[in-house]
Amino acid sequence: MFRYTKRTLVLEIFTILVALVLLTPFWILIVTSLKSGQDILTTPAFAPPKSPTLDNFKTLLSPSGTASDQIVSGLKSSAIITAGSIIGLVVFGSVTAYGLVRGKSRWTTRSYFLFLIAIILPTQLGVLPLYVEARKLGLVGSEIGMIIIYTGVLLPLSVFLYAGFFRTLPPEYEEAARIDGASPVQTFVRVVFPLMAPATGTVSILAGLIVWNDFFTPLIFLNGTDKQTLPVVMYNFVGALVSQWNLIFAIVLISMVPILAFYVIAQKKFIQGFSGGIKT
């Protein structure tokens, strides 16, 4: 029934065209970031640059320029906060989910629902008191403060994903480890956690993307400090760069490159992570 017919070919060509139209913004992004200020005015937006140049990137990243400090520190803050949040979410998420799934008492079942509800609970309402309390504790404008906040707010998602995986893990592995004399902690660290590598991958990718791309939280907690993450640096930059699109696009591209590099390497894992809500 699913033979490759002429109609399939037509559909294939049509779908490729649709995909090309969808990808146009990426083409514009790349060609514009390679144009000089002069080129922008003289060449059509869709055309490649007459004389491709990396000047925009040099202007932004050269150590003598004023911009590079902000961009480099933005990259650094984003990297530290993302890595720290991933570690927090993997450690807390796996241990919590393990306790909830393997602990058999009434309160573990109830606590699991606590995490489920927290996933749909809108964050806008809680973020304001969180900001004021964090300010009192001196956690506003610091990387560790952001890591704590992300770990707390994204923990329900992490617990939910880990719990789904733990349920499919047959208890025989743990029983075998116990018979061999391993303590519960040893069993978890040496046997259970390594078996959960796919869950750890999914949690890391999803949490990493959410934290790296987040704009709202760092805008509130970090704006105006020297720990601004890349999206906030970009926001302030574009405000100052009024319509210098070649420079704006160079910084936009710089912010995208780390994620796109990961995506190219592990695109299957990325896509599985996002569709993971259906396949359990």
Partner 1 sequence: MSATTPVEPSQHARHDVEAQPRRGRHQDRAARTPRHIGLGWWALPGVAVVLALVYLPTVMGGFYAFTDWKGIGGWHWVGLENFRKIFQDEELLGSLRNTVLLAVGFVVLTNVFGLLLALALNRGLKTRYLLRTLVFMPVVLAPIAVSYVWSFMFAFDGPLNQALAWAHLDGLQRDWLADPTLAKLCVLTVMVWQNIGFVMVIYLAGLASVPVDLEEAAALDGAGKFNRLVHVILPSIRPAVGIATTLMLIQGLRVFDQIMALTGGGPSGATQTLATEIYQQTIVFGKFGFGAALALLLSVLILVASGLQQAATRDRDRPAKGA
Supply the minimum distance, in Å, between the C-beta of residue 104 and partner 1.
Answer: 4
If one asks whether residue 84 binds partner 1 (CB under 8 A), the answer comes out as no
> Which of the residues 228 through 247 are near partner 1 (CB under 8 A)?
230-231, 234-235, 238, 243, 245
Q: Please state, as a whole number, how many other Cβ atoms lie within 10 Å of the Cβ of residue 66.
A: 7
* CB 198, min distance to partner 1, A: 15
138 contributes a contact to partner 1 by CB under 8 A: no
Question: Cβ neighbours of residue 127 under 8 Å, at least 6 residues apart?
Answer: 216, 217, 220
Among residue numbers 16 through 75, which ones bind partner 1 (CB under 8 A)?
16, 18-19, 22-26, 28-29, 32, 44-46
Hunting for tokens 């964050």 — which residue is that? 123
Q: Does 143 bind partner 1 (CB under 8 A)?
A: no
Segment contacting partner 1 by CB under 8 A, of 48-56, 62-70, 137-145, 171-179: 171-179
Structure tokens at 140: 């506003």
CB 159 within 8 A of CB 97: yes
To 10 degrees, the CA torsion angle through 9, 10, 16, 20?
A: 150
Tell which phi-psi region holds residue 91, choosing left (phi > 0), alpha (psi between -120 and 50) or beta: alpha
Residue 57 identity: F
Query: Per CB under 8 A, does 8 bind partner 1?
Result: yes
Binds partner 1 by CB under 8 A, chosen from 61, 79, 83, 256: 256
Nearer to partner 1, 63 or 239 (CB): 239
Query: How far is residue 161's CA from residue 201's CA, in Å, rounded to a whole number?
Result: 11
Cα 119 from chain centroid (whole Å): 17
Residue in 63, 124, 138, 242 binding partner 1, rule: CB under 8 A: 124
Q: Is 154 in the site for partner 1 (CB under 8 A)?
A: yes
Give the length of the chain.
Answer: 280
Instruction: Tell whether residue 117 is a contact of partner 1 (CB under 8 A).
Output: yes
* 181 binding partner 1? (CB under 8 A): no
Min dist CB 275 to partner 1, Å, is 4
Q: Are 188 and 125 in contact (CB under 8 A)?
A: no
* Site for partner 1 contains 107 (CB under 8 A): yes
Q: Does 200 bind partner 1 (CB under 8 A)?
A: no
Q: How far apart are CA 204 and CA 157, in angstroms?
A: 11
- Please identify, using beta-carbon distances, which residue of 197 and 274 lies nearer to partner 1: 274
